[in-house]
């Protein structure tokens, strides 16, 4: 969880024009990541080639660019398991404009995606995609996120009119990603170029929104459970029609079927 001071800083991200000499957007993204204390994996001294090779005898059979767009579909359709499984968690590296950056959230964790999908809807408009190597792809796209107001209202979430949830929708990112995969088609490098202001706003919003949402879930007795809908009373069944009593055989002679009674 974020401290109140850190949350305030995230809700008020620095302007790109306010960068001091020597600062870059990548350094600001790393500063943002440090606020939310995402545990990064240090792969120093590990056999990175082994990690790239993946499982023995298994090769990535799909086109690298198709692997990326299929991952986009996982996110669009809110499949948390699929979204998290796309990463080589041991080796994954994110780069922004040729500088290494730390992720603001643990995107290799399925629970992170479940939380994001509770809060946001994601869409991707892929403008171009091509393979640039056996394990490399170039993908240009526009990502849009919107607050999932219907779901959050249904859960009784009380902060929709407050920052960071009240941003002008949709929040857009124009990005060009140079992607590297291992032999298992897992993401090992996400090297992106985009608009500096969009990067800061996007990462600031999702980091703060996740923090506020988790605090609410933890402190609210209701949490993620929506109020139970009252059931309408069941309609009462009409009473069954009573059958007419059978005629008694006593006191009367049987009449043969299909024959008229004889005259006396």
Which of helix, strand or coil describes residue 216? helix
Measured between alpha carbons, how far is residue 224 from residues 45, 73, 208, 213, 231 in Å?
A: 42, 25, 18, 10, 21
Question: For residue 104, what pLDDT band results from cuts at 50, 70 and 90?
Answer: confident
What pLDDT score does 8 carry? 37
Q: Class of the 4-8+62-219 domain?
A: alpha beta
| Residue 196: pLDDT over 90 | yes
What pLDDT score does 242 carry? 64
pTM of the model: 0.67
Q: For 136, what's the count of Cα atoms within 13 Å in the CB-facing half-sphere?
A: 4
Question: For residue 61, what pLDDT band results from cuts at 50, 70 and 90?
Answer: confident
What pLDDT score does 80 carry? 97
CB within 8 Å of 73: residues ≥ 6 apart: none
Using the 8-state DSSP alphabet, how is residue 221 labeled?
S
Question: For residue 103, what pLDDT band results from cuts at 50, 70 and 90?
Answer: confident
| Residue 111: pLDDT over 60 | yes
Domain boundaries, the chain: 4-8+62-219
What pLDDT score does 52 carry? 42
């Amino acid at each position: 969880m974020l401290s109140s001071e850190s949350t305030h800083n995230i809700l008020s991200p620095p302007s790109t024009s306010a960068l001091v000499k020597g600062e870059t957007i990548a350094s600001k993204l790393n500063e943002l990541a440090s606020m939310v204390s995402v545990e990064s994996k240090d792969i120093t001294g590990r056999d990175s080639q082994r990690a790239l090779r993946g499982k023995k005898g298994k090769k990535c059979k799909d086109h690298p660019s198709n692997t990326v767009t299929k991952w986009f579909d996982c996110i669009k359709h809110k499949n948390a398991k699929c979204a998290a499984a796309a990463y080589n968690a041991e080796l994954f590296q994110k780069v922004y404009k040729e500088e290494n950056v730390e992720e603001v959230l643990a995107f290799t964790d399925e629970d992170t995606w479940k939380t994001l999908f509770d809060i946001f809807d994601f869409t991707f408009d892929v403008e171009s995609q091509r393979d640039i190597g056996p394990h490399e792809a170039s993908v240009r796209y526009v990502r849009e996120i919107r607050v999932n107001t219907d779901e959050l209202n249904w859960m009784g979430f009380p902060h929709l009119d407050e920052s960071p949830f009240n941003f002008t929708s949709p929040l857009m990112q124009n990005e060009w990603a140079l992607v590297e995969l291992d032999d298992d088609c897992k993401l090992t490098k996400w090297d992106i170029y985009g608009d500096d202001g969009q990067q800061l706003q996007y990462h600031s919003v999702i980091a703060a929104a996740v923090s506020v949402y988790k605090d609410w879930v933890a402190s609210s007795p209701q949490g993620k459970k929506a109020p139970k809908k009252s059931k309408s009373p069941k309609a009462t069944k009409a009473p069954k029609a009573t059958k007419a009593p059978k005629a008694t055989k006593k006191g009367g002679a049987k009449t043969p079927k299909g024959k008229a009674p004889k005259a006396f």
